[in-house]
A and B are shown apart, each in its own frame.
Chain A
Amino acid sequence: MSELQLRDLHSTEFPVPGELQDNLAITSLSKIYNWARRESMWPLLFGLACCAIEMIATAASRYDLSRFGMEVMRGSPRQSDLMIVSGTVTKKMVVPIVRLYNQMPEPKYVMAMGACASGGGPFKEGYNVVSGIDKYLPVDVYVPGCPPTPQSLLYGLISLQKKIDGQSLANMDDVPWYGVAPSEPTPIPVLGPDIIDPRQMDLIRQQAERAAAGLPYGVRELPKVIPVAPKKPSAPKPAAAPAAAVEVDPAKAERLAKREAALARKRVAEGGAPAPEEASEEAAVPAQVPAAAAPATSVEPTAPGKFDKAAMLEKIRARKANK
């Protein structure tokens, strides 16, 4: 920020309270943006089906959505930040839903509440049911349940807040709406003989050609079933996965080892003999070591900088074999 702009800031009409005038707070722009957005997430007042009843119950006094700054349900999409798709999305209804979504100003979020909005739910097979709103709109949070209890809806909303916390103004992949150009509206589906997603026009044309040629159309060949090979006991693959996990995080192994040691010391201090260790999944306790000696060996990787991968692998294999 140039000097001139800074001075402008100081001479603002906005009264700054005295106790704040001498303070300087440093934060990132993203944080401020995110903080403001997450605490005033206004949902669109928009109920589709049974799940909407639970949404209303969540907004009512017992569960009290206003604790999260979300009680301001807006009737108009122009004023809302969050679309809670609360119920079964039918083909007839998806047209207005997409239209409403396009009318919402950015930044905007979509939550699929309940089994129906997430994937069709109990009515998935119905001829007028869309298999989840994510076939048309980008969904940020899915809340499972039929209907989700108010608690799970709240949990979903908190998850959304967490998601917002992690977003950065610098990352356009994350939040397309901070880009330069206006974002493209989602194409609105058309009600023809069945619902038509304009993004699928080409595919539909192809299938229509197949139909004209007398070929089967509209169905997809199922993948050939590959018989599952019986598991080989000493296949290298299972060993590789944990090794990779260990490789990325030597510090963690060390931390765990330290914790084990501290625990053992505590047990000794409490007067009992060191209890045999349960072979916890992460604890780097070699299986061949007698249990009583566990505290001593668990601090074994003394040099934190050097991590002996081969030795660790060996230990893990031994433990696997013992099991």
Chain B
Amino acid sequence: MVDKPITTTTTADTIAALKEKFPDAVSDDTRQGYSGVVIDKNKLVEVATALRDELGYDYLSSVTGVDYLGISDHMEVVYHAYRTSGGPALVFKAQTDRNESEIPSLTSVYPGADFQEREIWDLYGIRFNGHPNLKRILLWEGFDGHPMRKDWKEAYYEEEHKPFGSRWPAGYVHRSEERNAYGHNVKYPADLDLSRLNDTSEESLYSGMGLGVDVERLDDETKLKTDRLIVNLGPHHPSTHGVFRMVVTLDGETIEMLEPVMGYLHRNHEQIGERNTFLHNMPFTDRLDYISGMSNNLGYALAVEQLLARGARWQPPSYRAEVIRVLMVELTRIVNHYWAIGFFLNDLGAFFTPALYAIAEREKILDFFEATAGSRMMPNYMRFGGVFKDLPERIRGVANLLNDQVRDFNTMDYLTELINDRLPRSIDELDRLITESEIIKTRCIGVGYLPAEMAVAYSCAGPLLRASGVPYDVRRADPYSIYPELDFDVAVRYNGDLYDRYLIRLDEMRESIRILKQILPRLEATQGQSVFGPSQHTPRVPVGESYGRVENPKGELGYYVVSNGIGEEATKGPQNPWRYHVRAPSFINLTALGAMCKGHKVADVVAILGSIDIVLGETDR
């Protein structure tokens, strides 16, 4: 949302313009394999403001921290900013000392940095000056240490990197529980004082929520006989789509303030990812957004492929591999939107019946995934340089059922029928059953309004952003794979309310069908081509950083991967990522939740949350 015309077009131009404006604060990142600029942290806010207002980088996609202990002994915060009009990223970094790590907060410029900065504070212990609410976000207040720091060791620590040494060195299996005196995955600081132990995590949560106000005095001020009340929704709540929690302050039944509380599914994806080898992470990505495993795979494959492409022995994926990737990813989008629509209606109170309709066809797609990748939900299918296996000749009844006939289909026939007939029919059915329903319209239209400027400012992505009238889709804005040659439209709606967020999912499913119809002849034509280049089990990945992003069903999924190491690894290229960060759309989309809910009723909160379509595996990682 820029007023002045943007004069610079390419990233190089932008960097030049920045350097001209801030000659002593901006310098090139000259490390091998790195790009972008390093900004003096004292000037960070000014530079960012200029970037946003003058150079058009209005969308801050990802903020993350990196700890370079042992390499250059500093910490770094990495920002990826984009223009909502499209184009590649501008990467800028701010560096700080490890001991007294402080960096100014960018929440005043990009409100979307809010949760991400809190996450960095939680995991890295970098303090963001000026952040309005710098509390732990994934762990609890009172946790000992900042676990993503390279010198922090978990209770079950074995070695720095996988593959670990043998766990049964001489015929004895050494399980991690047995090495731990408590038999649990715990460790306590040496100076633990049990007598002074108290759980402060809840208290700090409620601070700032208006707890402990004098009700009588309030009555004086507002002349209203309503009590101010704090209500917890979750973490065990049927409509939070998992273990998500919202603390809301109510005035009567109206939401005054809402604070999302997460981390109940924080399973240390990123830290485990840094111990893993590059390929090890592939199955872990399945478990991020566990409804759309295939597209998570693609994003990670793209990020590592960017790095591998700088090496000598690199072969890009074959055309057939790309076709199969797009096939899988678009089918996943349909699966996800079925799920999202079904459970959105659940949240509106239509308990489970619409969901049954919505996820019926999903099973058909999952059968195809199971026959191809071996698992219904966790495919672990993509590889660096292709996919791990070609489509099977036939789809058999792998998951045969008691009351099902033995199934045996030709794969291409199966797909053709699915794409040309079954899926469009069931999408139309959903449309017919739901769209014109009076109840749905009354509950949805005008509720949870998110204006376009706010959606951009809060770094919202995916259907949430596009339903607010911003036609931003990574498949078009920063194309990857074979999307440039495919004919499809970016679905966009303009009202930014619940109803439009529901409609846009239907639109996107229809666009996906359109893409899939173009994929079918390509699949036929490429039959027989190989789908996987030279074996890449534990590749040495050239040193550098990369950011791979895809348009996941829930929004922009990005992987920030740093390949670096100490000593020999820095020259030969390491086998394990130094930093592996996931820009999770579900997590960042939640930044806007509080703003969207304000002024609505409690019952609407549930529906608004449902319309964002979060999945906790990705939110908490």
* A contact set with B: CB distance below 8 Å: 45-50, 52-54, 56-57, 60-63, 75, 87-88, 90-93, 96, 100, 116, 120, 122-131, 135, 146-147, 149-151, 190-197, 200-201, 203-205, 207-208, 211-212, 217-220, 222-223, 225, 227-228
Contacts and interface: CB of A to CB of B under 8 A. Distances in A.
Secondary structure of the B contact surface, majority rule: loop
Interface in B170-195: 170-172, 174, 176-194
Given A131-B184, A218-B182, A220-B178, A146 B378 contact: yes
Interface string B138-164: 111011100100000011111000000
Contact of A127 (B182, B271, B362, B378): B271
Interface in B276-327: 283-284, 287, 290-291
A242 to B, nearest CB: 25
11 contacts: A57-B359, A90-B265, A92-B263, A125-B176, A126-B185, A126-B271, A135-B183, A218-B181, A218-B187, A219-B180, A227-B170
Contacts, number: 206
Given A52-B242, A207-B188, 13 more contacts: A50-B617, A56-B359, A124-B185, A126-B154, A130-B185, A193-B189, A201-B194, A204-B192, A208-B193, A211-B191, A220-B178, A222-B179, A225-B170
B393 interface: no
A92 B266 contact: yes
A60 B192 contact: no
A261 B237 CA distance: 63
B242 A48 contact: yes
Contact of A128 (B158, B268, B290, B399): B268
A193 B264 contact: no
Nearest to B268: A126
B197 A190 contact: yes
A122 B362 CA distance: 26
Contacts of A116: 267
A128 B242 contact: no
B198 to A, nearest CB: 8
Interface in B350-405: 355-356, 359-360, 362-363, 376-378, 399, 401
A130 B184 contact: yes
A50 B178 contact: no
B321 to A, nearest CB: 26
A116 B185 CA distance: 13
B216 interface: no
B267 A126 contact: yes
Interface residues of B, number: 74
B243 interface: yes
B140 A208 contact: no
B360 A61 contact: yes
Contacts of B617: 49-50
Given A49-B242, A125-B272, A192-B197, A100 B236 contact: yes
Nearest to A216: B181
A135 B182 CA distance: 11
Contacts of A222: 172, 174, 178-179
B275 interface: yes
Cβ-closest 9 pairs across A and B: A126-B268, A193-B144, A50-B290, A127-B154, A211-B190, A123-B267, A225-B170, A93-B264, A75-B238
A207 B189 CA distance: 10
Contacts of B377: 50, 53-54, 147
Contacts of A93: 235, 243, 264-265
A60 B199 CA distance: 40
B201 interface: yes
B429 to A, nearest CB: 14
A207 B186 CA distance: 12
B521 interface: no
B282 to A, nearest CB: 12
A195 B186 contact: yes
B347 to A, nearest CB: 13
Q: Which of A116, A130, A219 has the most CB of B within 10 A?
A: A219
Contacts of B284: 122
